[in-house]
Structure 1
Amino acid sequence: MRIGLLYPTRDCGEDDFAALCRRLDPAPSLDFAYVEGDTDVGPDAAAQTAAVRALGTPGRLTAAADKLPAIPDVVSWACSSCSFAHGLDGAREQARALAEHVGVRASSTSLAYLAALDRLGAGRVALASVYHPDLTAAFAAFLAEAGVTTVHAVSADAGSDRTLAAWGGHRITELAVAADHADADAVLVPETALHTTPLLAGLDERLRKPVLTATAVTVWDAMGSAPAQSGLGTLFSAGPSRRRRSSSSS
């Protein structure tokens, strides 16, 4: 299987995606193409939101897809904020535009979260967000459109993708622990620059519930029909996605 990922910032979390794919059986091939634009616009919340919305326009995504080195079996927009900031209809439109342009199944990190929550039967979540509170609220609103309730959220307001790519496992774990809530069925960590693959099983064990990282849900959703995998947390042990119309386009 060949997965084509559209990615927002070069040399950030690509190696984490590759590490996760190497641990899968069967291991998919992985190609990246980069969406032109800039989300590193400083601390202003309104400017951050405008930047991620601009980066996620269908025209930018289809132009990036043309740079993939080969036609993939599935293409996914591997960016959390740039897909959820457009709302549920906007995320679906991104996937639809990619599917029509490339001619294969298409999804995004935000839509992958919905597919993962559906597969696990999780309707109440906590958000371990690295974003500014306004972007965290936008993610909660996106989830609410799909019938998912956010019971607790923390916002690290951590800055650029390159800053987040340098976070160590201890800092990521601290954020997930701070976000957890007794009423949450799962904890979501929405950022594809974070290196979370080595943490997947340990986070679930620590919090005694699924901890869904952006890298993990993106790859799991793209795999679609992959068998259950061990050692990668609850989501991968649950097996293939039971797809809903809201979670991808083909």
Structure 2
Amino acid sequence: MTTIGLLYPGHSAEGDFPRIEIMLDSDIRLPLFHTGIGEDTHTVEALREMGSAERLAAGVEDLRLAGAEALVWACTGGSFVYGREGAHEQIATLARAAGLPASSTSFGFAHAVREVGATRVAIAATYPEDIAVLFARFLEAAGIEVVATRGSGIITAAEVGGWDARLVKELAVAGDHPDADAVLLPHTALHTAAYIPELEELLGKPVLTANQVTVWEGLRLVDRRLWEPALGALFATREPPPGVTETRGIVVRE
């Protein structure tokens, strides 16, 4: 059995993870360890507080006791708002505290874009525009070309957690761009696990969503590759595209 511990803020779309665990139908376990979110508003200040070392540390000990082999900070906004260097230090701190390989959803997106062979992406975000732009800058710092960025102006994770399939599809379509090789939906508060094949059929290209990417990133950390096309193009490949060199993220050796 492989156990990947997920530090997840709040409760907005936590149901995606047991759904994904069932879809994978393997020996993978994805226990969630909730962290506090403080003020539920999508501002830089609130997101930085959500991703603070003090808040994340609260879930680390329980995660270790659960026998996790790796951990992922299952939050995008609470990572990329620190910038690439700050986000790297954030997961380095987590890795040192847990003594485990660690990463975050934000870094997972950067790795997943390369996994599906994309070089140019469009961002379809529920965030306010200024927060969506920060995610674009994070990806650009990783060498990924962002051809379009759409923010939806949603202020709280609670509201995003209530979106249904129709709203998710409308978001993806509105955020797509003809020059994009893939479309990214970056919010872990958004339910997407049940809709990914429909989204990809609708857009005719890979769609990467936050909770899907979070699980894939955890599997990458422990060198597990699982085939599950119901989770989209990201889970329909077994080997990285030619020329892609993988990194495992932050790894702590005791």
Q: TM-score scaled to structure 1, two decimals?
A: 0.91
Partner amino acid, structure 1, of 2:32 = F
How far, CA to CA, are the matches of 2:100 and 2:73 in structure 1? 13
Name the CA distance, whole Å, in 1 between partners of 2:50 and 2:33: 14
Q: Is the 8 A contact 1:227 1:240 kept in 2?
A: no
Alignment partner of 2:30: what SS?
A: strand
- Code of the residue aligned with 2:6 in structure 1: it is L
Q: CA deviation at 1:216?
A: 0.4
Residue deviations 1:104-127 (CA, integer Å, cap 9, x gap) = 111100010011012122121101
SS of the aligned residue for 2:195 comes to helix
Match of 2:229 in 1: 230
Cα contact 1:126–1:187 (8 A) shared by 2: yes
Q: Distance in 2 between matches of 1:227 and 1:53?
A: 33
Q: CA deviation at 1:131?
A: 0.4
| Aligned residue number for residue 60 of structure 1 | 55
- What stretches of structure 1 of length at least 5 have no aligned partner? none
Residue 83 of structure 2 corresponds to: 87
Work out the CA distance in 2 between the residues paired with 1:75 and 1:138: 24
1:50 Cα deviation (Å)?
0.6
Match of 1:205 in 2: 201
Q: From 102, 108, 116, give the equivalent of 1:106.
A: 102
Match of 1:239 in 2: 238
Deviations 1:129-163 (A, max 9, x none): 10011101100110110011111121111221111
For 2:14, the equivalent position in structure 1 comes to: 14
Distance change >3 Å, CA 229–CA 141, structure 1 → 2:
same
What letter corresponds to residue 67 of structure 1 in structure 2? D
Within 2, Cα distance between the matches of 1:240 and 1:81? 29
**Are 2:24 and 1:24 aligned?**
yes
Is 1:3 the equivalent of 2:1? Answer: no
* Cα distance in 2 for residues equivalent to 1:58 and 1:240: 34
Confirm or deny: 8 A CA contact 1:106 1:249 kept in the other structure.
yes
Which moved further from structure 2: 123-132 or 157-166? 157-166
State the secondary structure of the residue aligned to 1:151. strand
User: Per-residue CA shift, 1:193-247, capped at 9, x if unaligned?
Assistant: 11111111111111010110000000011112123222221110013667734x6
Distance 2:117 2:189 in 1: 26
Task: Tell me by how many angstroms 1:58 deviates.
Answer: 2.8
The aligned amino acid for 1:7 is Y
Query: How far apart are residue 61 of structure 1 and its match?
Result: 1.6
Tell me the distance in 2 between the aligned counterparts of 1:7 and 1:199: 21
Report the Cα distance in structure 2 between the residues aligned to 1:210 and 1:158, rounded to whole angstroms: 24
**Cα offset, 1:60, TM superposition:** 2.6
Cα deviation, residue 80, structure 1: 0.8
Percent identity of paired positions between Structure 1 and Structure 2: 38
- Distance of 1:80 and 1:240 partners within structure 2: 25
Aligned residue for 2:154?
158
Residue identity matched to 1:90:
G
Determine the C-alpha separation between the residues in 1 that align with 2:90 and 2:6. 13
Aligned to 2:126: 130
Distance 2:211 2:29 in 1: 15
User: Over the residues paired in the alignment, what is the CA RMSD in angstroms?
Assistant: 1.7
1:169 aligns with 2:170: no
Question: Number of residue pairs matched?
Answer: 243
